[in-house]
Amino acid sequence: MARCLEIVANSGLDYELHSMGTILEGEWHEVFAVVQKCYEELQKDCQRISCSIKVDYRRGPAGRLRSKVEKVQQLLQNPKERTTT
């Protein structure tokens, strides 16, 4: 995992590392180029590689990876803005 995180960090894409995986934000070809590099690095000495990928595509401005988290944090600081479903 550390080898892959180094590849991700050097990619220039926005990312977040979590206990259960890593989120990448970027254009399709950029994200999958990083996935390919990680696979190639692990293939050198790993007998098995398991990768689960979830894709969420949405037209619009970049930077939503951070803006979503910031919005939730803002709502938590301002309880009157909270909505219920």
Question: Where are the chain's structural domains?
Answer: 2-81
Give 17's strand partners: 22
Query: Could you tell me which CATH class the domain 2-81 is placed in?
Result: alpha beta
pLDDT in the model for residue 28: 94
- Tens-place pLDDT, residues 9-66: 999 999 999 898 899 999 999 999 999 999 999 999 999 999 999 998 888 777 777 7
DSSP letter for 82, please: -
- Which contacts qualify for 35-44: CB closer than 8 Å, 24 or more apart? 37/7, 37/11, 38/3, 38/4, 38/7, 38/8, 41/3, 41/4, 41/7, 42/3, 42/4
pTM: 0.74
